[in-house]
């Protein structure tokens, strides 16, 4: 009787335990499925969050139509950058941005998100936007100063480009930075002639008169100054005289093949203490520009000015423009010539003469062609 009762109790206990084991086995079997669903949902969210807010165009380069300009101030945290980018519609999720920022940090990548003005597109994925800010690929402003431009022309150009007012530039070039550039000649009233003509690029949010001047003086120091230092023993011109004469050669010479000859004519006139008689110096002094149809008048040529090289013997007090490297080099290597005069043909070339009589004949010849419309 007792044995039979024990057997029944044992069977009863077995029946109670079986459902518990089955339940745990079920949960264990369900875990991988749950993990898989969570992983899939996480990946789906990340794929959405890191994707471009807008459909990408066929081109891999962001178009101007979709580009957005955004400024990252110095010291902005990565979290604040993410919120700003999300608000600007450049990323979908600030949370995803923060995750990406932490991932970049965990990779031990050097640097960090850099301040500046950026041109970004909502057609770029989050990773591409982050990479651009990490590398500091800020907006670049390009500007080109042609050879032969004066400070006044430069100031007008910068204002027209929307960089800064012309008067701000003219005020800045009147402050000669001797501390940073001790090689600049003493007593300069301004930087005419020493801002090297070239094409430059600056970060978009650093285009100021001071930044432009610094870059252009640096280029002169890098490109032009070594030319003078290398040939200094072969010329009687000091640095300011060299740049001044080169600026006149720059304004007179149009055809490259005539550059050294024009330099030779001026060199000969200086040796003979003859006035240089250069029209561009008169124009600079009067703030005008002659044309074929409206050349300088006798009254203008006779108007007193420190820059009037028809009246004054020797070089004007400062350069009159920004000479390029070709004119700077030609001034140090003048052609050994008997010519003392030249007259422009208005096609870029000149008639060179040895005597005043020859020169007057050349002037009459050109005047006749101009009057006849040739």
pTM above threshold 0.85: no
Residue 341 β-bridge partners: 353
Helices and strands: H and E segment counts in the chain: 14, 6
The more confident residue out of 250 and 12 is 250
Tokens of 166: 């012309």
Percentage above 90 pLDDT, the chain: 53
| Class of domain 68-138 (CATH, top level) | alpha beta
Dmax of the chain from CA atoms? 155
pLDDT tens digits for 236-248? 999 999 999 999 9
CA distances from 78 to 49, 69, 133 (A): 17, 18, 10
pLDDT tens digits for 80-131? 988 998 888 888 888 888 887 888 777 766 778 888 888 888 888 888 888 8
pLDDT of 229 > 90? The answer is yes
Ranges in the chain annotated CATH 3.30.1490.480: 68-138
């Amino acid at each position: 009787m007792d044995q039979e009762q024990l057997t029944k109790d044992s069977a009863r206990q077995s029946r109670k335990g079986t459902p518990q084991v089955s339940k745990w086995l079920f949960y264990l079997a369900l875990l991988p499925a749950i993990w898989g669903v969570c992983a899939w949902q996480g990946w789906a969210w990340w794929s959405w969050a890191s994707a471009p807010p807008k459909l990408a165009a066929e081109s891999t380069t962001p178009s101007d139509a979709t580009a957005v300009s955004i400024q990252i101030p110095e010291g902005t945290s990565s979290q604040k950058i993410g919120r700003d980018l999300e608000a600007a519609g450049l990323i979908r999720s600030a949370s995803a941005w923060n995750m990406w920022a932490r991932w970049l940090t965990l990779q031990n990548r050097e640097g960090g998100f850099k301040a500046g003005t950026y041109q970004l597109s909502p057609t770029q994925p989050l990773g591409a936007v982050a990479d651009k800010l990490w590398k500091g690929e800020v907006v670049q402003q390009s500007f080109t100063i042609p050879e032969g431009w004066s400070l006044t022309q430069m100031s007008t150009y910068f204002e027209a480009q929307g960089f800064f007012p012309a008067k701000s530039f003219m005020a800045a070039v009147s402050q000669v930075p001797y501390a940073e550039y001790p090689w600049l000649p003493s007593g300069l009233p301004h930087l005419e002639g020493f801002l090297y003509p070239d094409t430059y690029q600056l970060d978009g949010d650093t285009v100021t008169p001071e930044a432009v001047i610094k870059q252009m003086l640096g280029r002169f120091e890098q490109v032009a100054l070594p030319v003078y230092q290398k040939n200094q023993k072969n010329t009687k011109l000091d640095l300011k005289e060299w740049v001044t004469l080169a600026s006149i050669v720059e304004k007179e010479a149009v055809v490259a093949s005539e550059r050294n000859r024009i330099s030779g004519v001026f060199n000969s006139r200086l040796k003979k203490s003859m006035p240089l008689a250069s029209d561009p110096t008169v124009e600079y002094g009067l703030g005008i520009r002659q044309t074929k149809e409206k050349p300088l008048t006798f009254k203008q040529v006779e108007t007193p000015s420190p820059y009037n090289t028809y009246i004054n013997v020797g070089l004007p007090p400062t350069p009159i423009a920004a000479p390029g490297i070709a004119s700077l080099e030609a001034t140090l290597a003048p052609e050994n010539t008997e010519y003392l005069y030249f007259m422009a043909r208005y096609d870029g070339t000149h008639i060179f003469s040895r005597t005043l009589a020859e020169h007057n004949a050349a002037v009459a010849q050109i005047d006749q062609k101009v009057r006849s419309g040739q």
